[in-house]
Structure 1
Amino acid sequence: MRRGRVGLAVGLAVALTSGGSVWGARAAADAELRIENARYRIVVEQRRGAPAALVVSRLDQPGVSRRLTPDVRVLMTRTDPGYRAMSLGEEVVLTAGWKPAAPPPHETELFAGVPGQKPAPVSNESDLFAVASPRQHRATGVTVKDAQTLTFSFKADPSYDVALAIALEPGTAAPIIDTSVTPRVAGFYSAAFGGVGGRESATLDFVYQPLVWSWRRFPAKSYLTPESMATTAATFVTAGGLTEGVAADPAEIPYRFATFQNSRFGLTLRDVDGRARPMLFAPVLGGEGSQRAAGERFAFKTRYVLAAGDWYAGLQHVLRDVFAYRAERQNAAISLNDTLDNMIAFAMDDAYSGWVPELKGFDYKWDVPGTVKVVSALHALGVALVTGDREIYNRRALPLIEYVMSREKYLYATDEAITYQNPSHFLRGPCVEIGELAGLFAMTGGKSVGFKREAERLFGKPRRLNLLTDTGGGTWQDALAMYRITGEQSWLQKARSGADAHVKAEIDTLPGDFTTNSALVDKQAAFYIDYGPRWFDLYEIYEATGERRYLDAAITSARAMLLMLRSQPFAPATTMLVNQGGRVPGVVNWQRVPNPKSGPNEPTWIRVPRDTTTAVPEQRLPAWRTSLVGLPPEQGRTYGLGPIMLTHHAAWLMRLAHHANDPLLREAAENAVLGRYANFPGYYFTSFETNVYQRADYPLHSYQDLKYNAIFYNHVWPHIALLVDYLVSDAFARSGGRVDFPSAYAPGYAFLTSKVYGHRLGRINDDKDVALWLPRRAASFSTPAVNHLFGVGSADLHLVLMNTSTDAQDVTVRLDPDVVPWDAGVRYDVALTGSASGNTTSIDGVLRVPVAGRGFTVATIRKLAVDPAFQRRVVTALPQPPSDRGFSRVETGVPAIGTLTGMLLSVVPEFADAFVYMDATEKDARDVEFRYRQGDDEWTVVRDTAYPFELSVHVGDPSRALEVRVTATDHRGTTHTGPALVLAR
């Protein structure tokens, strides 16, 4: 019957009027126009006294249909409307901008619709319809062509001709809306399909316009999000269990890095009347391709979005059915484990990794020359434990612990004249969240009481650890941290109450503005993670309580974050040439250097131009190697520099994909990490034209020679921790939870949030006494497609293999006898579980393990003994609980000394490290003498003549008390002696 009706309709034309039907009853029945494919049916409907409409129905979702109007809206200006790119750092950077006719008084909305920290003059008009008023054109006739396309006709306009066609391709593809305009007069043009019905924003359950308008946050103006900022090139609304909107046809999105200048289209959700009407305008008015001569036609295809269910069902429809979202990545030249080994080797090189030993921090010269920055000590500590590497502990983890316990802020400047990004010059620590202190307490096996004491002192006190962003003040996250330190149920109940309020405000009742996002209001920071609920924290309280409501909230929030991740364009299934001409331009063409004229009214640094091209050989690669799909922006101000590779969200998505049985979350996680780099890759990147950042030797150069992208040395250990977390979380997800290692929480700041491991034993299958082990260069593998973990059981060695390729792998593994001490000539029995099951053997360190495509296999090597002593000793309790004498904090009242703090840092029972610091600065003291001894030993004297004034002492026998005395000399030559500190475990 359907085919018969379509056949009758072929070649018929119907006039569409709004004043009355031109059809008689019989004519209407015989001449009904419709097209359909396996999923959609579109029927032309004419009702007496009403405008003509198109009824679009989902054949696979009974009862799902919406009316559209054959409506085209055209923007036209005779003169250049002044569209121009935003400059880096400008306030409004998430929307298109035009030169206003008159300068606006002030723009008070940071990121165009987000409350800003202060009014600031801007030089752009951000309201599309303030630039040009849309002219609305409704079709007057329709013709069916080839039973698949509805072609509409319109009344002529003096300035241009409008055309509209709506087509259904065979199969299940969403309707294609083809809009075109042929100018009669030269000018600047842009057009959109305006037929998705306008609705009052108050009636909507969910809205989405890239990049920040989601939940129920309706744009305050008719902002236009250009292609370059459309992480998902769609805009839609959800109401009454139905999602409706428009998306760019994937064929209209070239495989290239879209910029503000070359964006081919823009998205807007708010129409000229202030109602929700999803529209895609192309070209961008005043942008590339919008200036047209008479007769110079332009056209653009969009896809109509229609799906039953909640907003996530609608998003899945957009990603799966429109953009064909998929996991497009796998390991490239090397595995993630080899990448991890390369990155650790780089991080342990003081010169290349930007380590400043005397300041115990990382050179922050990219942003603020003359400063160092540290965001966490847990990252390096966890890596030291899981690798069993004491050198990492001694040269990185321990100094970083001392830094975070003593400095006032993440960013530290020895020169008080440096004010950019608001560094601190003071030792008024700790400079980390209470969650970090809880993590340090856990990761040191509860042996270091200083972490507990400082957490108790700081709870409830607001602090500013980064920029001018307030943190702390007794949050529910802090209460959860206190519960983890103390085990007291009252803290957990306080955390529950706060988390429940957070879920109610941010998830159960979708917010309609940004006031619930505290990081956005009156702050300098506005990272992408700030636009949604704290889903990392929600997962942590789920693990602490086991209560499903927190897990569900974390899953919902993670799904919403998919809107922040790039979902197009996917790479073509071809190869492509990168590094054309043998030289690659950098992401930015300047660097910051100290300002030689710096004074009270001058910045402490200036930007200077430089040649940022890098010599790198041409190479042909699979195109997916250069894809940006799966990556987030950093924040609005830096969006134009490209997305970032510091993708901590990936490990969390992997875990939540398991809990929710949601493959989309898993695919997004894989796209964020796999095959992207072979060493530390830097930060922002634009990717399509080069693979320079993917090379194993990329960071092995001086700072001046690293020209492609931004190098933030304080990101190195967080990035290493990211890879460890990803590997462990991937094993957890693939095994359905049968490979599971306990974690501590490293909250970091912004999105530098990870789980860290190594302080507690976990499980692999039925073995519940397993130490996670990731020693460097422990094994070689016949293919880079597999990643791995080692787990050291009480009797056996487990090897977990995870295949990133869709092709099955028969992996030959060779264990290094210097790392894995196998006995020559001994045949070890090996049990296989997971993708492969059964038994095999290993001799002389060689075994073969089959792994299915995208699968995992656990090879358990029986009776192969390995002793990761450093990690297992963390688990070992002290003969008696640590005493409060392991920490001392004394406010001396002597300016040349100030507050004197000492602590014992203990990871294993056999040794400890003492750290003593004072908060007097170089203005208070000229030099300081530290004297220390154990028991009746001889005094050791250390003179410190440069601020900061601090002492580090390795304590080989922590059973003996350490006595420390401090003498400070002020600038008048007067000597001051502080109280004795006695530190004992």
Structure 2
Amino acid sequence: MNNRLENIARILITISFSGVCLSAFAQNSLSLSNEHINMFWTQQEDEWILNTFEGKTGKGNKPFGTACGEYAFIYAKDKPTSDFLPIIENGDTLDFPGSLFKYVADDFNRATSGVPMNKAGEYIKFYPAKGYQSGGSIVFEQQTPCGNYKAVWTLDKQYPSDILLNISLSVNKDGYYSLATPTVSTISEENLAWGVVPGFFQGNAIQQSFPLSYAYAQGLPKYPVLCRESTITTLSSIMTNKEGLTMAVIPEPGQDRDPYEKDENTHSKLWKVALSHMNNEAKLTPVAYHPVLGESGSFLKKGEIAEFSVRITLRHSDWYSVYKHAIYDVYKLKYSFELRENKRSLSERLLKLYDYVLDDKTALWHEEEYKGRKLIAQSYLGGVAGADKDAMKNSDIGAVWMLARLSQDKQFNEKRIPYIRNFKILQQSQNGFFKGAVEGQYYLAKSKRFTEEWGNHFEPVAVTYYTMADLGNILLFEPENEEIKGLLKNGAERLLEWQQENGGWQVAYDRTTHQPIYTDLKDYRPTFYGLMIAYQLFGDKKYLEAAQNGADWIIDNAVNNGYFVGVCGDARFVNDFATIQISCALFDLYEMTSDKKYLDAAIETAKIYTTSIYTHPVPNKEIKTIKGKEVEDWQLSQIGSNFEHGGSMGSAVPSGPILLASHCAYFLKLYKATGDELFCDLARLAALGKDAFVNEGTGVASYYWSQFDNGSGPFPHHAWWQIGWIYDYLVTEAEVRSNGKISFPRGFMTAKVGPHKALGFTPGKINGQKVNLILRKDFVETDNPNIDYITAQSASGDAIYVVFLNGQSKKNRFSYKINLSSIGNKAKMQKGQADMDGFGYKIIKIRK
């Protein structure tokens, strides 16, 4: 019947302009339509009902779901409290995450209070009584108990798959108000192909375990929760049905919170926009809210007006296409490149980090004797189980050995490497149930023992990280080290013994009872990667077969459903950068086997991981003050930065994203493989123009966005991660920009924090010439901090190469000096000047 009324309306009365049709029939029907979208309302008993919400497909127009058109807003006389609400799960009150996880408990409790649980205030719901055409728009109005409500619908001419919706409420009494977008169309769970609120959760089904969805992002929550803006990475709620139609609600820019207003960190303090995957009646549909009840801008006095502007997108495409539409077309990601510039190049920062990690005092190096050997590590002053300010840690072993090789620094090779190697050797358990595993990431100097960061457990993924990846990277530089080979073999066999028949592993074992714990979780992490390392170094096919078995299980259970967990024990394994390591491991497995299913899964996983990276708000040049210094808004922008873990209780809730951008080099590799510019753009935005977060004295970036330029603080080992990812990124930029004329082999992913890899253990090539990467102080100097460089020497020793990289999207001119005496050449200095196009490269070859 609805289609019949619509067809009659179209035939009898049609006003057409610019490819857009607005129709009215006998004053009781209205429609908006173009070549992409068709909407049709009818008036029934003084209420305007949306009868049709269709999108164009290859098989003609298809409905997204069940059209509705109900409007709603929330009213509360008094400000809602932030007290958490008891949640019943499996017939009992939910006790999550538990008292042990003190770092995340408060945030989860706040996320389960009245407003985010969508239980606060009174919902005022209605179908409007008044509807009419006004110019190129359809307008609906309703006199509600709280004031006059108005909604204006307009088809967007620039993006014809978008509908512009402006809603307003002129209130007639004081109180707190929140405008919700209308329930345009709902779908059943059976018709759900994918849903995502970026930064919070994603999946192809409703998850019946509330913690798994709301804390771990494993599927869509069964409740109509409101996602908090501080961890929404792209401001959109997106849903795809099984016909391939994707609907999204995308709030217009300028209504979202500013993470740093004027002279104050407002990242978590302000909450101006909320998103959900359900309406208040728990029906699946993208919904947005503004202002948020009880939050900034929600209290209105009589006569004041609340307003909200959003886009409703409907496309015959997957979620990722619509997601990129929000990022590029609505939130103008490319504009960030126009603002970015460096105060110090990444290459110069690497040399600053080089100085820092050699400084015994500032880098907090300590020597200890353990089991008759001297070991060395850096102080770790964060929370470690059983520590008495005596915890020590080494990180990014690949970067340590890489820097030693590239620099040929005598102090480094003689006073660091032997004793860090001892640390790794002594760290491994030699007997019993945990043979091949490490005793713990941390050494406690006072009690002379190794321990884990949190809890009394051990995770199989830690074998992959701290035995396989760390020792594997050492072996790339020391291929004849038989002691390290034996320890690596122990780890490989441990992974084999712990692997389950289905290919997966347990999340963790209790150290005392050896029984599995955290059994509410599954090991959706890159544990299988350790067996890939064993295969590459030992060549035994049993390791490759086991790795494929593990990868197949990950694809079927994790990737296909959007389910992941993380590796941060103090956050109860909330999904984190382990997700992008899964992608990288699958990509590497594809290169090992040529089986395309691993490439496809790697790409899909990486697409999901992009939702861990902030793309809003749109930056500008507004002057702000931080620590008494004036900076421009873009310098403090979160755009391009990934969170450690987000959602309802991750570290990003209070602290924002992190400055550790381990994924950058791998994203460039994905860009080269797929042509998807989002990977390339996000890599560059993460790497470049971040000086506001780098400590001037040490060159070490703060870990969390909220710490700005404090530097490493109690975590000096973070400098190694930064050396690792920055160098891998710069070399990868050279490789991608040169289209393979520059290429270097990679080691294994670093432990825990991401997919960056070590280089320098074997020669690479520049224009067909075999070369070795080198890193020397006082070697290269430029007058433009937006110009980076890498340096290499021919394997025959007869030539030096300097590869310059433009770190901006605009053309740059720069002068350079190459001090050949710093590498033992009799010639003193070579000078020059060059021009480079945006994100270009230039190779300087100097004959010795």
- TM class, shorter-chain normalised? 0.7 to 0.9
Q: Is the 8 A contact 1:807 1:853 kept in 2?
A: yes
Alignment partner, residue 188 of structure 1: 176
Indicate the larger mover: 441-450 or 127-136.
Answer: 127-136
**In 2, Cα distance between the equivalents of 1:568 and 1:132?**
29
**In 1, Cα distance between the equivalents of 2:157 and 2:585?**
46
Q: Is the 8 A contact 2:21 2:31 kept in 1?
A: no
Match of 1:529 among 569, 577, 582: 577
Find out whether 1:506 has 2:562 as its counterpart.
Answer: no
Deviations 1:884-936 (A, max 9, x none): xxxxxxxxxxxxxxxxxxxxxxxxxxxxxxxxxxxxxxxxxxxxxxxxxxxxx
Alignment partner, residue 452 of structure 1: 485
Q: Secondary structure at the match of 1:727?
A: helix
Find out whether 1:392 has 2:412 as its counterpart.
Answer: yes
The aligned runs of 1:387-786 (5 Å cut-off) are 387-407=407-427, 408-416=439-447, 421-422=453-454, 433-458=466-491, 459-460=493-494, 475-507=527-559, 509-511=560-562, 514=563, 517=565, 524-530=572-578, 534-572=582-620, 574=621, 576-579=623-626, 584=627, 616=628, 618-621=629-632, 623-635=633-645, 636-639=649-652, 640-677=654-691, 679-686=699-706, 693=709, 699=711, 710-749=713-752, 751-767=753-769, 769-786=770-787
Find out whether 1:150 has 2:138 as its counterpart.
Answer: yes
Deviation at 1:397, TM superposition (A): 3.3
Alignment partner, residue 79 of structure 1: 78
Change (3 A) 1:200 1:13: closer
The aligned runs of 1:94-493 (5 Å cut-off) are 98-100=83-85, 106-108=93-95, 110=97, 122=109, 124-125=112-113, 128-132=117-121, 134-147=123-136, 149-154=137-142, 156-168=143-155, 170-172=157-159, 174-216=162-204, 217-239=219-241, 240-257=243-260, 258-326=266-334, 328-329=336-337, 330-358=340-368, 360-368=376-384, 369-407=389-427, 408-416=439-447, 421-422=453-454, 433-458=466-491, 459-460=493-494, 475-493=527-545
Change (3 A) 1:60 1:792: farther
Percent identical: 18
Q: Secondary structure at the match of 1:246?
A: strand
**In 2, Cα distance between the equivalents of 1:120 and 1:170?**
42
Q: Is the 8 A contact 1:376 1:404 kept in 2?
A: no
Q: Secondary structure at the match of 1:664?
A: helix
Q: Is the 8 A contact 1:460 1:474 kept in 2?
A: no
Q: Which runs of 5+ in 2 are unaligned?
A: 1-9, 205-218, 261-265, 369-374, 428-438, 499-506, 512-516
Deviation at 1:490, TM superposition (A): 2.9
Alignment partner, residue 5 of structure 2: none
Q: Is the 8 A contact 2:272 2:296 kept in 1?
A: yes
Q: Secondary structure at the match of 2:683?
A: helix
Change (3 A) 1:815 1:134: same
Change (3 A) 1:395 1:142: farther
Q: Is the 8 A contact 2:813 2:834 kept in 1?
A: yes
**In 2, Cα distance between the equivalents of 1:525 and 1:504?**
20
Deviations 1:63-97 (A, max 9, x none): 57758644321222233321x3xxxxxxxxxxxxx
Deviations 1:507-526 (A, max 9, x none): 3x325xx5x64869998332
Q: Is the 8 A contact 1:410 1:465 kept in 2?
A: no
Deviations 1:449-477 (A, max 9, x none): 11221122232256979999999999532
Deviation at 1:443, TM superposition (A): 2.4
**In 2, Cα distance between the equivalents of 1:238 and 1:453?**
50
Indicate the larger mover: 672-681 or 128-137.
Answer: 128-137
**In 2, Cα distance between the equivalents of 1:248 and 1:336?**
35
**Aligned letter for 2:750?**
P
Find out whether 1:46 has 2:79 as its counterpart.
Answer: no
Deviation at 1:255, TM superposition (A): 3.9
Alignment partner, residue 966 of structure 1: none
Change (3 A) 1:860 1:335: same
The aligned runs of 1:866-945 (5 Å cut-off) are none
Deviations 1:330-372 (A, max 9, x none): 4411211001111111121111122223362221114353312
**In 1, Cα distance between the equivalents of 2:341 and 2:164?**
36
Deviations 1:514-572 (A, max 9, x none): 5x648699983324235677112212323333443322222221111111110101212
Deviations 1:679-720 (A, max 9, x none): 102211238xxxx62xxxx65xxxxxxxxx854212111111
Q: Is the 8 A contact 2:87 2:93 kept in 1?
A: no
Q: Is the 8 A contact 2:801 2:843 kept in 1?
A: yes
Q: Greater relative contact order: 1 or 2 (C-alpha under 8 angstroms, separation 6 or more)?
A: 2
Deviation at 1:291, TM superposition (A): 2.6
Change (3 A) 1:129 1:675: closer
Change (3 A) 1:109 1:530: farther
The structure number with the bigger radius of gyration is 1
**In 2, Cα distance between the equivalents of 1:667 and 1:473?**
26
Deviation at 1:500, TM superposition (A): 2.4
**In 1, Cα distance between the equivalents of 2:686 and 2:20?**
48
**Aligned letter for 1:343?**
L
Q: Which runs of 5+ in 1 are unaligned?
A: 15-22, 85-97, 585-615, 700-708, 826-843, 865-985
Please give the root-mean-square deviation of Cα atoms over the aligned residues, in Å: 4.1
**In 2, Cα distance between the equivalents of 1:11 and 1:65?**
18
Deviation at 1:787, TM superposition (A): 1.2
Find out whether 1:852 has 2:837 as its counterpart.
Answer: yes
**In 2, Cα distance between the equivalents of 1:788 and 1:12?**
58
Q: Secondary structure at the match of 1:393?
A: helix
Deviation at 1:260, TM superposition (A): 3.9
Indicate the larger mover: 255-264 or 412-421.
Answer: 412-421
TM-score by length of 1: 0.69
